[in-house]
Amino acid sequence: MGNREMEELIPLVNRLQDAFSALGQSCLLELPQIAVVGGQSAGKSSVLENFVGRDFLPRGSGIVTRRPLVLQLVTSKAEYAEFLHCKGRKFTDFDEVRHEIEAETDRVTGMNKGISPIPINLRVYSPHVLNLTLIDLPGITKVPVGDQPADIEHQIREMIMQFISRENCLILAVTPANTDLANSDALKLAKDVDPQGLRTIGVITKLDLMDEGTDARDILENKLLPLRRGYVGVVNRSQKDIDGKKDVKAAMLSERKFFLSHPAYRHIADRMGTPHLQKVLNQQLTNHIRDTLPTFRNKLQAQLLSIEHEVDAYKSFKPEDPTRKTKALLQMVQQFAVDFEKRIEGSGDQVDTLELSGGAKINRIFHERFPFEIVKMEFNEKELRREISYAIKNIHGIRTGLFTPDMAFEAIVKKQIVKLKGPSLKSVDLVMQELINTVKKCTRKLATFPRLCEETERIVANHIREREGKTKDQVLLLIDIQVSYINTNHEDFIGFANAQQRSSQVHKKNTIGNQVIRKGWLTISNIGIMKGGSKGYWFVLTAESLSWYKDDEIHLRSQREHGTDGGRFCSSCSLWSDDRRLEKAWLRGCGHNRLGALTTLCCNS
């Protein structure tokens, strides 16, 4: 590749950059570029102005650069500037360029010192510049000032990392010489993405402001913190020079004189200063483009082929073709059915890590909510004994009985079995509500077709409600079947004779089941969800979790990560190793939970 072609590489990338910016979207291809990184007041703006030879960048305290500035320098006989958002307008007064940058920044970010990743594209034509493209990024800050958001440091860091983490981006790390190099924010960020220092170019500013008797010779000779591309020292205008309108050309002469006269930098003066830095950046960016061009071209061709293939698929596309509309409709309905099935069966592509939903929620209704509803039913032992006594006496009539009549037993048992209808029907309602919620989540993909989304949701919800009635009838039928015939010969029926013996054996073998359900009070300190002291709750304790519910609420009260799905405490406490000790831990109250809150459980049973 000849020198002429080499000189055209940077303008070629500039045209690509403009094309992607004009499309209003960031390029999927990583364009070769140089990103300027540094802390506030590190001298980034002065370095860029020295390249151009004009004062054109906003200055002031705090964050001045609040949007990335893509600065394209183009060698030309005439001197003027152009903005991509102001096509056709040439700026010959560089004070107007500064005002336009400020106005365009405020237009997107507002007046509250906020930042935005949307870049401003500025192209400067001048006979005093070399072909070069630089991206000036906001200065690294630590403390928000004024109306800046509290996470301004995180926002700026994320924006900088978006640029410098790309393999095709060279990093121009600007560090003032009057600070410790080990504490350089720019070099620290560069090291995070370029640990070998292969893409980083160091720039040391404010060499003239170092304490007397000190110098940055070891740094500039690449001995202290070596970089593959080395360091270049520059001397910018001071604030006094800027306020006094000192010419950039005069400042460049002063810079040259400084390096030639300083004893520590005299031997490397030909490799220091703004003109040398500009030449180094031009050469390294050109070489970088040349090295990355084959890979860049392959990616571009691959994307082109992909787009051409997609275009071919739409060449014969007829929007008004009814068969195509029907096919698209069927595909969307089929996708809805697949999504609904995956949410119920638990084999979805995207797993929700914030809350239970779909099949998992239904599973919890069956295995936790339903047993809770059964245990929650009011049970008064004295009242039950009174009912048993009355049933026996009423059946015996005027006679005094010797044995407990079967009819009394059946009357009491049937009355208790009938009580299962309430919890069973309530569980059906909960499952139906969860199915409808799942339908609503699955129809979100149809949001671009509001009528189709509405009709799909209506039809499926109506079908679920139709099945609800039949399901409840079937549940009631099953309960009526249990009421109609009580099989006392069933192995689960222990009978009166061996009831006490069986109960003691069960207690000894610790076969009380894997759930402990009690009614009690809950007090949680340092958590604002429950105020006003202790409140009455029903608790379901298993080896895996602890959940609590209110008497008068269908929805669960949660102190887990999400706030609506039932409270759960981790089972890392060693007291929860088996069911017997589990119940003891319940009665005693365990203060271990993964939220770190102080928990007190007081059981009234």
**The residue type at 79:** E
User: How far apart, in Å, are the Cα atoms of 568 and each of 351, 361, 377, 522, 550?
Assistant: 20, 15, 22, 13, 15
Domain ranges of the chain: 33-213+220-299, 352-484, 502-554
Can you tell me whether residue 480 is helix, strand or coil? helix
Please give the CATH number for the structural domain made up of 502-554.
2.30.29.30
Counting Cβ atoms within 10 Å, is residue 72 exposed (0-12), middle (13-18) or buried (19+)? Answer: buried
Q: Which residue has the higher pLDDT, 346 or 353?
A: 346
Note the pLDDT tens digit of each residue in 330-341: 888 888 888 888
| Beta strand residue intervals within 462-514, DSSP E | none
Angle at CA of residue 385, ends 497 and 371, nearest 5°:
80
pLDDT higher for 376 or 126?
126
Instruction: Specify the pLDDT at position 302.
Output: 86
Q: How many CB atoms lie within 10 A of CB 148?
A: 19
Distance of CA 118 to CAs 11, 14, 21, Å?
22, 17, 9
H helix intervals, 316-380:
322-345, 359-364, 370-376
Please give the pLDDT value at position 600: 33
144 pLDDT tier (thresholds 50, 70, 90) = confident
Cβ(507)–Cβ(339) under 8 Å? no
What are the tokens at 464?
């679920």
* The pLDDT of residue 1: 42
pLDDT value for 378: 67
* Highest-confidence segment of 267-281, 354-368, 442-456: 267-281
The two tokens of residue 336 are 């809805």
Cα(442)–Cα(432) distance, integer angstroms: 15
Instruction: Report the pLDDT value the prediction gives residue 575, as an integer from 0 to 100.
Output: 33
What is the per-residue pLDDT for 204?
Answer: 93
CB neighbourhood size of 41 (10 A): 16
pLDDT top residue among 418 and 524: 418
Closest CA to 193 of 173, 222, 214: 173
Record the tokens describing residue 341, joined without a space.
Answer: 């099935």
Closest C-alpha among 227, 198, 216, 164 to residue 38: 164
pLDDT band at residue 384 using 50, 70 and 90 as cut-offs: confident
> Residue 559 pLDDT more than 70?
no
CA distances from 123 to 6, 87, 135, 360 (A): 20, 11, 12, 58
Residue 513: exposed, middle, or buried by beta-carbon count in 10 A (0-12, 13-18, 19+)?
exposed
HEC string of 342-359 equals: HHHHCCCCCCCCCCCCCH
285: pLDDT strictly greater than 60: yes
Q: Which CATH superfamily is domain 33-213+220-299 in?
A: P-loop containing nucleotide triphosphate hydrolases (3.40.50.300)
- Other CB atoms within a 10 A radius of the CB of residue 51 amount to 24
Pairing of strands 515-524, 535-542: antiparallel
Supply the CATH classification number for the domain 352-484.
1.20.120.1240
User: Angle at Cα 355 formed by Cα 351 and Cα 360, nearest 5°?
Assistant: 70
Residue type, 491: E
Q: Where are the alpha helices (DSSP H) in 540-591?
A: 579-588
pLDDT at 535 (0 to 100): 60
Site of tokens 């069927």: 330
Q: With 70 as the cut, is the pLDDT of residue 235 above it?
A: yes
Angle made by CA atoms 310, 313, 317, in degrees to the nearest 5? 125
Which tokens is 208 given?
């003239």
- The residues near 517 (Cβ < 8 Å, ≥ 6 apart) are 371, 372, 375, 376, 538, 539, 540, 541
Q: Closest Cα partner for 193 from 170, 211, 214, 215? A: 170
Give the residue, 592 or 166, on which the prediction is more confident.
166
Least confident of 132-141, 146-155, 455-464: 146-155
Instruction: Note the pTM of the prediction, 2 decimals.
Output: 0.52
Which amino acid would we find at residue 547?
S
**Pairing of the two strands 33-38 and 132-136:** parallel
Region 19-35: mean pLDDT is 66
- The 8-class DSSP code of residue 78 comes to S
Judged by DSSP in three states, 283 sits in helix
Is 123:72 a contact under the CB 8 Å cutoff? Answer: yes
Check pLDDT > 50 for residue 329. yes
Q: How far, in Å, CA of 349 to CA of 445, rounded?
A: 14
Q: How many CB atoms lie within 10 A of CB 245?
A: 7
Q: What average pLDDT does the structure give for the chain?
A: 75
Are the CB atoms for 173 and 184 separated by under 8 Å? Answer: yes
Pick the closest to residue 583 from 525, 528, 513, 522 (CA basis): 513
Which has the higher per-residue pLDDT, 386 or 513?
A: 386
Burial of 203 (0-12, 13-18, 19+ CB in 10 A): buried
Which of 593, 574, 598 minimizes the C-alpha distance to 584? Answer: 574
Q: Is the pLDDT of residue 393 over 80?
A: no
User: Which pairs count as long-range contacts for 472-476, CB under 8 Å and 24+ apart, including other chains?
Assistant: 472/425, 472/428, 475/421, 475/424, 475/425, 475/428, 476/421, 476/424, 476/425
Whole-number Å distance between alpha carbons of 132 and 123: 10
